[in-house]
Amino acid sequence: MQEQILNGTAAQSAREEEIRRIIQAGRDFIKMPPEAEEEENDAFPGYKTDQEQKKQQPPLYKRASGGRVTPLPSDYGSLALNNSILSVIFARKSSRIYTDEPITLLQLSFLLWATQGVKSIRGNNYATLRTVPCGGARHEFECYLAVRNVEGLVPGYYHYMPDRHALELLSEGCQDDDINASLCGQRWALKANVVMYYSVIPYRAEWRYGIYAHRTILIDAGHITENLYIACSASGLGTCAVAAVDTAVSDRMFALDGNEEYIFYAAPVGTVSPVSEKEEAEIYAFLKDEKGAASP
Ligand SMILES: Cc1cc2nc3c(=O)[nH]c(=O)nc-3n(C[C@H](O)[C@H](O)[C@H](O)COP(=O)(O)O)c2cc1C
């Protein structure tokens, strides 16, 4: 009996130690590692990135794979946009309750341009300059879409091609089960007009930053969704960043290999109304019991 208790205690402390180790590894990942150039800190003497070794730069974008291509409109001047930066930033919030209204292709186009749109090319195809900032302008992300309710598009899975500002249809039909499982059971997303899924192609950043690339990738991802929030806020739509993404399920939806490219972030987008706001507040109703406030 005593032996069982001792064994149980040993197993418990081994587990706690393992958890502490994982947490420390996470903390260390966020820190900037010692600069390789500084001799005294150099953990990898003589380390050179692939760019420094003059290896070929990876492509800036993924090419179309043979699906039907829909060019996107770009006359954003005809959109009903709130142009007051003050009120757009003030109104920015996460929205998870959507109405059944469709969104137009122009609205969707605006969101894609605002989050990944290409403005110009730096050098001889060295980098793209886009509507969002990105470490070294590597723009290591791709955007995939589960389109449910967008005028002018058949429901299905799509890929955004920023160089052509166009969508490629990957497969027709949009499965609720896929969306639900890909977002770890967040069923509220099943009423979204479109779910944006962001993949990373790590080598685009690794080519330039090597072992230092991965921290920057996560920082860069935040810029994309913040622009999405701002663009939704300006155009009267709702979105919510989603980190609880099942990578394996999402990768299957868009036929990604899961290592050279994989989904790690998502954002459902939908139409919202003042009624949605009330329902949204209900999500945080549990706080009433705690502090007397039910506002998100
Ligand atoms: C990186 C990130 C991940 C998030 N993941 C989720 C998520 O998986 N599910 C969800 O309902 N909300 C998610 N959110 C939304 C946050 O809960 C929300 O931003 C927060 O409660 C503050 O509310 P606000 O955006 O309305 O200011 C996420 C937000 C960010 C920035």
Average the pLDDT over each of 40-49, 52-61, 90-99, 108-117 and give the range with the smallest value: 40-49
Tokens 């790690």 correspond to 264
Closest-lying ligand 1 atom to the alpha carbon of residue 244:
8
Percent over 90 (pLDDT), the chain: 82
The reported pLDDT for the residue numbered 295 is 45
What is the residue extent of each domain of the chain? 69-283
**How many other C-beta atoms are found inside a 10 Å radius of the C-beta of residue 105?**
17
Exposure string over 227-253, b if 16+ CB within 10 A, otherwise e = bbbbbbbbbbbbbbbbeebbeebbbeb
Please write the tens of the pLDDT for every residue from 4-42: 777 888 889 999 999 999 999 999 999 987 665 555 556
CB 155 within 8 A of CB 147: yes
Closest C-alpha to 108, from 272, 274, 273, 269: 269
Name residue 195's beta-bridge partners: 146, 268
The reported pLDDT for the residue numbered 291 is 59
Alpha helices in the chain (DSSP H): 2-30, 85-91, 105-116, 176-182, 202-209, 213-235, 247-253, 274-283, 286-291
CB 196 within 8 A of CB 228: yes
Whether the full predicted model's pTM is greater than 0.95, yes or no, is: no
CB 216 within 8 A of CB 206: no
Please write the tens of the pLDDT for every residue from 157-169: 999 999 999 999 9
Please write the tens of the pLDDT for every residue from 135-154: 999 999 999 999 999 999 99
In CATH terms, the superfamily for domain 69-283 is NADH Oxidase (3.40.109.10)
The reported pLDDT for the residue numbered 285 is 85
Residue to probe by mutation, ligand 1, list 94, 97, 223, 239, most atoms within 8 Å of CB: 94
Residue to probe by mutation, ligand 1, list 190, 198, 219, 240, most atoms within 8 Å of CB: 240
Cβ–ligand 1 distance for 296 under 6 Å, the answer yes
